[in-house]
Chains A and B, each alone.
Chain A
Amino acid sequence: GAGVSQSPSNKVTEKGKDVELRCDPISGHTALYWYRQSLGQGLEFLIYFQGNSAPDKSGLPSDRFSAERTGGSVSTLTIQRTQQEDSAVYLCASSLVGGGASETQYFGPGTRLLVL
């Protein structure tokens, strides 16, 4: 079966524009996570979905960031009024059940966002 896929793979945008990043998790995986990795930084947790609901949004850096998940599958991460500091690789991961720290997360290849 296919792994986690993300689109676009690369995105260049101008400051102030909105962007949407898409994640297709592994089929049947209930849990979905968004992370970002800025240059020289570790992976930073953004948000976690269990099904279509997001019990943990604690990592979203500002109200310009939002995410949704529909049909228990595809998720989109939206960044409004992008800023240059939003430039990073945005990674999506999924796991089978969620709710347990010991569950392996499978990562997508990431979307490289550059805000000019």
Chain B
Amino acid sequence: DQQVKQNSPSLSVQEGRISILNCDYTNSMFDYFLWYKKYPAEGPTFLISISSIKDKNEDGRFTVFLNKSAKHLSLHIVPSQPGDSAVYFCAASAPNTGNQFYFGTGTSLTVIP
């Protein structure tokens, strides 16, 4: 039962343009969301997070938007750079799930120089 879904397995974007990665969730109890970035043969690295009390969090070129009513979050990268090419996972947790994070299946982003 996939509670966090990333419906786009891949995305290609031209360098300098905006990359938008999407994530949908089903559990309305989720109150904390994260994005991780993963390069081949490496573990995921934390990128940015947002709690449900906010609808936007920005960190440099990365912005995460949360739409609680739609149970949707997105990661915007602008401007996109070739080094951003990686697999991006979104993850969510709820107060009653302790330390269990639910991850999406990932979106592979390719930024074309």
A: residues with CB less than 8 A from B are 4, 31, 33, 35, 40-45, 48, 55-56, 58-59, 91, 93, 98-102, 104-110
B105 touches A105 (CB 8 A): no
Chain A residue, CB-CB nearest to B36: A107
Q: Assuming the A-B contacts A43-B91, A93-B43, A109-B42, are A101 and B99 also in contact, with contact meaning beta carbons closer than 8 angstroms in the complex?
A: yes
Number of interface residues of B (CB under 8 A): 29
Report the Cα distance A93→B44, complex, angstroms: 9
B: residues with CB less than 8 A from A are 2, 4, 6, 31-32, 36, 41-46, 49, 51, 89, 91, 93-95, 97-106
A107 touches B45 (CB 8 A): yes
In the complex, which residues of chain B have a beta carbon less than 8 angstroms from the beta carbon of A110? 43
A107 touches B103 (CB 8 A): no
Q: Assuming the A-B contacts A101-B93, A101-B95, are A45 and B46 also in contact, with contact meaning beta carbons closer than 8 angstroms in the complex?
A: no
